[in-house]
Structure 1
Amino acid sequence: MNNRHSIIPIRDALSRVNQKVNLIGFVRESSFPRKSLGTDYVSILKIVDESYKDEEFSVHIFTEKLEHLPVIRSYKDIIILYQVKIEEFNGRIDAVFKKKFSSYALFDEQSCIDCNPYQASPGFRLLRPGIGFIRRMGNLCATFPFRGGMDEYRLSLKHLKTKEYFDVVCKVLHVEKTANNAWMLFVWDGTDTPPLSFNMHFLYRWISPAHFLVLGLSYE
């Protein structure tokens, strides 16, 4: 098989610094989009696979347009990445999506059946070796050990304290724009919780009702 078309485990990618590789994994976390230090937009995904379950592998995705960044429907969705570059910075090894030659596609459990992604980067073309990987990952969704957020900081909403950073996994019930052009989220994590207000800055198109969200926040 042509190495350019091969998909490798995340564990193997750690030894491919400065090389381009193809990866597939479950999305465990996704950052809010932001402007990079240059002219691009960037989002950071943390992915896992069978070779890398207990840690999270970061993928930095840079695109020219905001709408080309991945919009994750659920933290257990599947992403296939073609020709991402493995880079080392300050002792940490990550994958970097280069807009000139990298591509990606996102699949949920249902779209894995016919390998029709619910979102893909411009120019993405699914290569034949990827079809089997996608279907296999779709079959693993029900049994793969998922968790949301970093356990060290993860709290339920009813246990929040002021002036404290935390992670929370919750369901977005409603999104509303206030009179001063701020966005207000109404969220629920399954517990009985008093009303809370989150001081956040992000783009509305990235959140919609009924989506599940993994947040790293400070409650004030």
Structure 2
Amino acid sequence: MSIAPKYTYVKLGNLKAGSVINVYGVVVFFKQPFKSRGTDFCSTLKIIDQSNQKIGCTIFCEKLEDHPKVFQNGDIVRMHRVKVQPCKSIMLVNTFGFSVVTFDGVVGTAVEPRTSSRSFHFDQDDRRMVEELRTWAASQAVLPTVTATVPLSAVQPKVYFDLTCQLLAKAPIDTTCTLLRVWDGTRCPHTLLKVIVEPHITEGQASFSKERENLIANVLVYDNHVEVARQLKPGVFLRIYNLRAIPGSTKVPGLTSSQSEEVDHLAFHLHGGTSYGRGIRVLPDNSPDVQELKRYSGRLKTNAPADLPFLGYGSVPDSADPHAVILVLVYSFVNNKLSLILPKAI
């Protein structure tokens, strides 16, 4: 019978240069992984604990899934085998055998580890440390003001915002730009930019009904984010950080450069770079934000009554066939039962 390893953790106020340690911390700043000049992706974090020391962390890993799965400031991160490296100030860097696990930092939510490792150590002591950090962070003014996460129905021109959404389809525009077609179940009150691409280069469903098309936003992803966008699969749930809502006419590069110019519309751009945490992150299905999005997108603003939930309407067919069909279960308040709507083109 194997004995579970016992790990010790060092407070961020007690770091010694050159040592390889294990740490816990609350994330107060992060950048999603981006392609480095070498073969690795790089991500950066800044963490804090009860010692009130803010420490920067730089992580280099070849695979995106090996980076910390941080979704927002306040998340809890546990890192094993990081090296204390003196620079202009002390920072932590990953070393041989590095592993990382992250947790939602909200008090009262389930303590569920986020990790790509098939096996990892987690016991009651770890649970206690997560809960203690959550409680401490909630009682302190340690978290910075963050960009608001808003639904499409509340987006205003000229703002930067974070969007939690589902990817329906995507298509390359040119080597520096990729189109993501997304929705969150709400309708943007502004006229949105139309981006026309050829069906044969579209991954995911190529066309939708007029009613559903009115709920879809076209997001233009530029430069370093194109690499991440290439790996996304239609149907996944995303959080897009530091997305910009641009009013007025915009000339879209590549295939859409010949489209008629629209003067009064809103375009969504994810600019290149990583300033202000700009980037894209895939959210797991058990994420509280995804569960809330599924509940929210179940109440669509269509011709049906606003309080009539459409169960399963948020799912995306695997086929890119424009004649793909969906089955919709509808709960009837009249006869108090579920009814099945026959296949309907979307």
- With the shorter chain as reference, the TM-score category is 0.5 to 0.7
Give 1:97's match in structure 2, choosing from 94, 102, 113.
Answer: 94
* Correspondence 1:42-191 to 2 at 5 A: 42-52=42-52, 56-89=54-87, 91-98=88-95, 100-109=96-105, 115-121=111-117, 123-126=119-122, 129-145=125-141, 146-148=143-145, 170-172=162-164, 177=170, 180=173, 182-183=178-179
Give 1:5's match in structure 2, choosing from 4, 7, 16.
Answer: 7
Task: Provide the secondary structure at the position in 1 that maps to 2:32.
Answer: coil
**Aligned partners of 1:104 and 1:124 also within 8 Å:** no
Distance 1:35-1:95 versus aligned 2 partners, 3 A rule: same
1:201 aligns with 2:224: yes
Residue 174 of structure 1 deviates from its aligned partner by: 6.9
1:29 & 1:42 partners in 2: Cα distance?
15
1:169 & 1:20 partners in 2: Cα distance?
38
2:113 & 2:98 partners in 1: Cα distance?
16
Q: Which amino acid aligns with 2:275?
A: G
Distance 1:49-1:200 versus aligned 2 partners, 3 A rule: farther
Residue 9 of structure 1 deviates from its aligned partner by: 1.9
Q: Which amino acid aligns with 1:11?
A: G
Q: Which amino acid aligns with 2:79?
A: L
**Aligned partners of 2:107 and 2:131 also within 8 Å:** no
Distance 1:35-1:83 versus aligned 2 partners, 3 A rule: same
Residue 117 of structure 1 deviates from its aligned partner by: 0.3
1:19 & 1:137 partners in 2: Cα distance?
23
Distance 1:73-1:111 versus aligned 2 partners, 3 A rule: farther
TM-score by length of 1: 0.65
- The higher relative CO (CA closer than 8 Å, separation ≥ 6) is in 1
Distance 1:199-1:179 versus aligned 2 partners, 3 A rule: closer
Q: Which amino acid aligns with 1:12?
A: N
Q: Percent identity?
A: 20
Task: Provide the secondary structure at the position in 2 that maps to 1:84.
Answer: strand
Structure having the higher Rg? 2
Q: Which sections of structure 2, spanning at least 5 residues, go unmatched? A: 1-5, 147-155, 183-189, 194-219, 243-273, 279-346
2:84 & 2:126 partners in 1: Cα distance?
19
Distance 1:6-1:179 versus aligned 2 partners, 3 A rule: closer
2:31 & 2:91 partners in 1: Cα distance?
15
TM-score by length of 2: 0.44
Q: Which amino acid aligns with 1:7?
A: Y
Distance 1:88-1:94 versus aligned 2 partners, 3 A rule: same
Q: Which sections of structure 1, spanning at least 5 residues, go unmatched? A: 150-156, 161-167, 187-192
2:64 & 2:161 partners in 1: Cα distance?
25
1:5 & 1:33 partners in 2: Cα distance?
27
* Stretch deviating more after TM superposition (57-66 or 193-202): 193-202
Residue 87 of structure 1 deviates from its aligned partner by: 0.7
Distance 1:209-1:7 versus aligned 2 partners, 3 A rule: same
Task: Provide the secondary structure at the position in 2 that maps to 1:75.
Answer: coil
